[in-house]
Structure 1
Amino acid sequence: AYNKTMIEAAGVALPEDNMTWDELVAYGTELKASLPEGVAPFVDNSTNQANYLSYFYRQEGTPLWTSDDGGTSYATVESAAKWLQMWADMRAEGLIPDADTTYTYTEDGPDSSALVAGDAAIGLVWSNQVAAYQAAMTDELGMTTLPAGGEPSYAIQMSQYLGISNASENKEAAALFVNFFVTSPEAGAILQTNRGVPSSPVVRQAISAEATPIDAEVYRIYDAVADRTIPQDPNLPNDQEFVNELELIGQAVAYGQSSVDQAAADLQALIEQLAVK
């Protein structure tokens, strides 16, 4: 998501969908020259969650974790170094906030976000959280896609699982409810995008005419990436440990306590360790 009000006030064109990583960085360089002092073009989303890194690894043809042969990682130290170096370069060029500013925020919601606070103009936000981010801001938000390029890597991630117990005495009624929840325009009109983009095209079409501006943006993004989506990869085993350690690796680079090469080696070793733990 991006701060549309801020970017328009800077006199810079809004970011386009499906820019490559190089194009996105070049856009950030252009934007930086026109932003207020102390505002960075991008939030530092390098290591504050695993999904963005996993998306990049998949683009590189080195998926972090797959279901192949019961669970296989194709991650390489080269992909780790490329990812970490890109963000280190952006930090050096002032395209992301400095380390102290970055780690002021947890970036796990609008209550602790450099984007919401106005310290950065563009940041990674889950599609079903954009409405909450907008509600926390007076500036208007817009949305753009994740960077394109490389292997297809866009996963339309499930936000909810609805299951019926094998021991249920009311399986038929439960199935009717699940069917209503997923395929009914009436349910879709109530939920909107609070649980993600409706998976049913019938529901999306039925509710799109009355969508809020933010929900309309979510639907537009969904359509913009439809031709490069893939099935969602499973998470790396011991995923929460990976998320925690990944952030520590990123912090070490940001504060100059580790080189990119050392951090890449540490990241690869962590992946290999957790894959068999």
Structure 2
Amino acid sequence: MTIRLGRRQFLMGSSALAAAAAAGISPAFAQSALRLIFWGGQARADRTYAVTDLYEAAGNPGLEAEFLSWNDYWPKLATQTAGGTAPDIIQMDYRYIVEYATRNAIAPLDDVIGDLGEFDADQLEGGKVDGQLYGISLGANSVATLVNKAAFEAIGEAVPDNSWTYADLERLGEAFNSAGNGMRAFSDGSGTEPMLDNWLRQRGQALYTADNKLGFTADDMVEWFQMWDGFRQKGYIVDAETQALDTGAPESSMVAMKRAAMMPSNSNQLVIHQSINDDELTISSYPRIAPGVGGGHYRKPSMFFSVGGSTADREAAAAFINFFVTNPEAGAILGVERGIPCNAAVREAITPTLDEQSQIALNFVANLGDLVGALPPSPPAAAGEIDLNLLRVISQEVAFGARSPEDAGKAFVEDATAILARANA
């Protein structure tokens, strides 16, 4: 039977993962039920539990499942990995898959995953590290701007379409300020790694190169922090104290709290955010750096299921993952909450059944046009540390006035370069 555990907060950081690798952790005993861990809100949990119940009803092994918010998830997973108690099935993100794979915290799947049917080739490639398959994509998605339609209607402005720019963000910032209702146009995106990545890609640069180096300079980061600091000073985005209320849970987002009309998100997250918002929501692209400039977006594996490196039964864990992504009945339950299904038969079966928000998400990913560029290389092993412990921290220091954008840009590149050098040594 599925055991449904709620969120817990753990304090140990991502350094625990390195400790696990150094200790050579291996499974101590076989378990009677498979353990599954994933991040997300209650709506994702309800869908996931319905699929685990479906799997068990078919006579398969039982599962114990646990979900946490994004911010709580990675410290918890690192703690479990360090302690030799990592789950059998792990929800994995594109930015961390290299780190977990190279430290043997997740296991290769090539010889155990079985027939996935007609599965999107780009999504399979996204789950490979050094030519081996370590993650099965649970859906294709793209970065997106989450938009509160009612907030735009209230000030008489049209919801931005996929042609909108950062200059439009400034114009809308002025419009929301003039409305005087306390809502800002946008949340603070300065510490949002996907938004930085998108901005760099539009400029012909990259967050990381294929040889695990930074794809930009200190001057670029100074410009990035200056742009967002300018938005902040003019009141186009929420202030530092308000942004700090966002814990990573959908319920604490700036849109859910009605502090901002827009925020960076992902196409698949429209479903979960709509489930907790009374205002009607939609999605648009990230802003363009100038009219007609594209290439910043890409079809990203929304997330993966991976098999824990210390699992006692890789075959059983892989069998559940196969079922999760290829069974049409499971697909009908899951919808597009984790992204557009990668199995063609599942995608075809569920499309006519999708609700309005799910149809919006599907159509958004299918019609990005010139915004779409190539899938970037898998982030290096240290990408998680740079995102969590550097970009987010330094961006907050700028927001609270503890650093200037000029100092922040230089410090970020220096510290990120040092982190990458240590990881690649």
TM-score range, shorter chain: 0.7 to 0.9
Deviation at 1:14, TM superposition (A): 1.2
Q: 1:33 to 1:233 in 2, by over 3 A?
A: farther
Q: What RMSD over aligned residues (CA atoms) do the two structures have, in Å?
A: 2.8
* Aligned-pair CA distance for 1:13: 1.1
2:271 maps to a residue whose letter is A
Correspondence 1:274 to 2:419: yes
Match of residue 244 from structure 2: 103
Give, in angstroms, the shift of residue 208 of structure 1. Answer: 2.5
Residue 233 of structure 1 corresponds to: 377
1:39 to 179, 183, 203: 183
Q: Is the contact between residue 282 and residue 357 of structure 2 (CA under 8 Å) also seen in structure 1?
A: yes
Instruction: State the Cα deviation string for residues 216-244 of structure 1 (Å, max 9, x = none).
Output: 11112102325413214322432232122
Deviation (angstroms), 1:75: 1.7
Identity across matched positions, percent:
29
Instruction: Specify the alignment match of 2:273 in structure 1.
Output: 133
Match of 2:232 among 91, 113, 134: 91
- Using the size of structure 1 for normalisation, the TM-score is 0.85
Deviations 1:86-140 (A, max 9, x none): 111110111111111111222x221221110111110112233222211111111
Q: Is the contact between residue 219 and residue 410 of structure 2 (CA under 8 Å) also seen in structure 1? A: no
The aligned counterpart of 1:80 is 221
Name the TM-score, length of structure 2 as normaliser. Answer: 0.57
Tell me by how many angstroms 1:144 deviates.
0.6
In the alignment, the residues of structure 1 paired with residue 283 and residue 383 of structure 2 have an alpha-carbon distance, to the nearest angstrom, of 28
1:33 & 1:145 partners in 2: Cα distance? 24
CA pair 37-274 structure 1, distance change in 2 beyond 3 A: same
Would you say 1:188 and 2:328 are equivalent positions?
Answer: no
Shift of residue 162, structure 1, vs aligned partner: 5.8
- Which range moved further: 232-241 or 80-89? 232-241
Number of the residue aligned with 2:399: 254
State the match for 2:262 in structure 1. Answer: 122
Summarize the Cα distance change of 1:260–1:183 in structure 2 as closer, same or farther, 3 Å threshold: same
State the AA in 2 paired with 1:113: S
Alpha-carbon deviation of 1:73? Answer: 2.3
Does the 8 A contact of 1:41 with 1:95 survive in 2? yes
Deviation at 1:170, TM superposition (A): 6.7
Aligned positions, number: 269
For 1:169 and 1:276, the matched residues in 2 are separated by 33
Please tell me the residue identity of whatever aligns with 1:124. Answer: P
320, 335, 342: which one aligns with 1:199: 342
Indicate which of 300, 304, 312 corresponds to 1:160.
304
Residues 201 and 4 of structure 1, relative CA distance in 2, 3 Å threshold: farther
Report which of the two has the higher share of helix.
1
1:145 aligns with 2:285: yes
Provide the C-alpha distance between the structure 1 equivalents of 2:252 and 2:377, rounded to a whole number of angstroms.
28
Assess if the C-alpha contact under 8 Å between 1:128 and 1:195 holds in 2.
yes
- Provide the rounded CA distance (Å) in 2 between the counterparts of 1:169 and 1:38: 52
**Residue identity in the other structure for 2:331:** G
What is residue 409 of structure 2 aligned with on the other side? Answer: 264
Q: Which runs of 5+ in 1 are unaligned?
A: none
